[in-house]
């Protein structure tokens, strides 16, 4: 078990109803098998919160948006020193937020858009081949 996983396990013991897990090398905190927080190598944590709440937290100055690659994740914020007792309330907020989301807004929603992107690529390939086939038959 690495340090991030250990940190997630320690946090899960402090938050009733949550479980610790592993996702892409990060120790994560889950409710009903849905991730509401995950640990980062610098002992910070990423939390899933409503966009309005994130805007409030960003004004405070200590937290920052979660950036993956070049994309700013709109419902995720990075909180430094996630294990600090003062951050327990934010963890509880994230847990409550994720558990309140309708099923289609949870993690499975991303898979639908990926399937659409694949279908669009396939449709373009078919459309590109269609004129060539029509000219061959003549």
Q: What would the pLDDT profile of 23-33 be if each residue is shown by its tens digit? A: 776 788 888 88
More confident residue, 19 or 78: 78
Place of tokens 């003062």: 86
Residue 109 has pLDDT above 50, yes or no: no
Strand order in the sheet with 45-48: 19-23, 26-31, 34-39, 45-48, 71-79, 64-68
What stretch of H or E contains 21? strand 19-23
CA distance 95 to 6: 19
In the three-class reduction of DSSP (H, G, I as helix; E, B as strand; rest coil), residue 111 is classed as helix
Q: What pLDDT band is residue 4 in, cutting at 50, 70 and 90?
A: confident
Least confident stretch, 3-12, 78-87, 88-97, 112-121: 112-121
Query: Residue 23's closest CA among 42, 39, 9?
Result: 39
Residue 96 has pLDDT above 50, yes or no: yes
Which two three-digit tokens encode residue 37? 């927080």
Residue 67 has pLDDT above 80, yes or no: yes
The angle at the Cα of 100, spanning 97 to 103, to the nearest 5 degrees, equals: 120
State the average pLDDT over residues 37-52: 88
Global pTM exceeds 0.85: no
Least confident stretch, 13-22, 47-56, 96-105, 113-122: 113-122
């Amino acid at each position: 078990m690495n340090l991030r996983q250990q940190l997630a396990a320690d946090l899960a013991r402090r938050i009733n109803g949550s479980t610790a897990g592993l996702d892409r090398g990060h120790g994560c905190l889950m409710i009903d098998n849905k991730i509401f927080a995950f640990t980062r190598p610098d002992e910070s944590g990423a939390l899933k919160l409503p966009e309005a709440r994130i805007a409030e937290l960003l004004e405070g100055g200590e937290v920052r948006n979660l950036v993956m690659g070049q994309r700013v994740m709109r419902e995720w914020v990075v909180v430094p020193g996630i294990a600090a007792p003062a951050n327990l309330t934010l963890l509880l907020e994230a847990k409550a937020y994720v558990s309140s989301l309708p099923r289609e807004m949870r993690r499975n929603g991303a898979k639908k858009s990926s399937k659409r992107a694949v279908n669009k690529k396939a449709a373009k390939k078919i459309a590109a081949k269609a004129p060539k086939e029509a000219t061959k038959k003549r």
